[in-house]
């Protein structure tokens, strides 16, 4: 049983879900970056929209490594003549992003978002690159398409939200209530059907790539911040294997353990640990901090049952 299943943590997590995110959140910074780029294009290059053109990804990008920066920058540029493009994406990110940021931590959320942008760019780049190459081989003109927008990454956030909170009630178009899992299914079905519509100007393959990444991330239990340089450092060739002095724990509520900290300090310590989880995610906890949560959860349940 993981710490998310424990009553003590669940109560705190529910409260943090409803609480507005304080400080400079990653969601806020991402929204500001998109808005600033949109305004810069509108006011600095209103005639040719060169800002968006430079940041957008193009059908030949995949063949030119010098332009591979577009695999990321396209996700921060939006259609300069369609205000609803950026408005829709930023509204969805505003509503669905904060709960995911609080659940996984700022760093993990940022890496996941950028990974979704990158995966979407790769999928679209390979898809259009192959199509363009085939046209050239057939003696026709190569594709000259460009792709921009945060829709793929935003779709990944929505699907990850639906995976984590499937029964959460959301309002479709701000009017129609529906469970989050149904919204996630609707996203996938609409993009799958839209991908067969050759006349569509929407990059459905990018959305599907974002949804697939989110599903893989959730069901495979991936976590990007688990991969650190220190874990990949090579040990000396003839070094004696090190024996870890850290105990391994099985998180059993019924196992007898003494208080990791004095009882009079347990509430303050648990509050500190929960703030750390919201800031940097569960993976940042030490074994002692995990043991403290287990002990506090057991004591909380014992008090509810009357000791």
- The pLDDT tens digits for 187-232 are 888 887 776 665 557 787 899 999 999 999 999 988 888 875 444 4
State the pLDDT confidence band at 72, using cuts at 50, 70 and 90.
very high
pLDDT above 90: residue 6: no
pLDDT-based confidence at residue 248 (cuts at 50, 70, 90): very low
The reply to whether the predicted model has a pTM over 0.85 is no
Q: Is the pLDDT of residue 177 over 60?
A: yes
Whether residue 8 is predicted with pLDDT greater than 50 in this model: the reply is no
Is the model more confident about 215 or about 266? 215
More confident: 79 or 30: 30
For 135-174, what is each residue's pLDDT tens digit? 777 777 667 788 999 999 999 999 999 999 999 988 877 7
Q: How far apart are CA 188 and CA 95, in angstroms?
A: 19
User: Is the model's pLDDT at 134 over the cut of 50?
Assistant: yes
CA distances from 286 to 20, 102, 201 (A): 27, 19, 48
In this predicted structure, the answer to whether residue 182 has a pLDDT above a threshold of 60 is yes
Q: Which residue has the higher pLDDT, 156 or 249?
A: 156
pLDDT by residue (tens digit) across 272-299?
888 888 777 777 788 888 888 888 887 7
Residue 247: what pLDDT?
A: 41
User: For residue 305, what pLDDT is reported?
Assistant: 64
d(CA 21, CA 274): 14
Q: How confident is the model at residue 245 (pLDDT cuts 50, 70, 90)?
A: very low
Whether the pLDDT of residue 15 is over 90: the answer is no
Q: How many CA atoms lie less than 13 Å away from 83 in the CB half-sphere?
A: 2
Mean pLDDT of the chain: 79
């Amino acid at each position: 049983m993981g710490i998310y299943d424990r009553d003590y943590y669940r109560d705190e997590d529910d409260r943090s879900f409803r609480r507005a995110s304080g400080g400079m959140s990653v969601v806020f910074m991402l929204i500001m970056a998109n808005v600033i780029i949109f305004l810069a294009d509108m006011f600095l290059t209103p005639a040719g929209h060169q800002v968006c053109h430079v940041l957008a990804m193009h059908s030949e990008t995949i063949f030119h490594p010098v332009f591979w920066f577009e695999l990321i920058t396209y996700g921060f540029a939006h259609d300069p003549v369609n205000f609803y493009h950026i408005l829709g994406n930023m509204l969805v990110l505003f509503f669905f992003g904060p709960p995911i940021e609080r659940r996984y931590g700022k760093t993990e959320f940022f890496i996941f978002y950028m990974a979704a942008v990158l995966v979407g760019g790769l999928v679209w780049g390979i898809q259009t690159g192959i199509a363009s190459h085939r046209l050239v081989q057939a003696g026709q003109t190569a594709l000259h398409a460009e792709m921009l927008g945060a829709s793929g990454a935003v779709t990944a956030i929505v699907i990850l939200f639906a995976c984590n909170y499937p029964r959460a009630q959301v309002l479709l178009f701000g009017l129609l209530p529906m469970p989050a899992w149904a919204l996630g299914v609707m996203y996938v079905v609409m993009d799958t059907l839209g991908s067969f519509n050759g006349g569509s100007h929407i990059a459905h393959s990018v959305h599907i790539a974002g949804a697939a990444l989110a599903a893989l991330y959730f069901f495979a239990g991936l976590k990007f911040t688990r991969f650190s340089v220190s874990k990949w450092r090579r040990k000396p060739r003839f070094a004696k294997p090190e024996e870890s002095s850290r105990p391994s724990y099985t998180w059993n509520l019924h196992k007898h353990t003494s208080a990791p900290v004095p009882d009079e300090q347990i509430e303050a310590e648990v509050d500190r640990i929960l703030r750390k989880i919201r800031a940097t995610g569960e993976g940042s906890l030490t074994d002692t901090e995990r043991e403290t949560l287990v002990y506090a959860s057991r004591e909380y349940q014992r008090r509810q049952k009357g000791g």
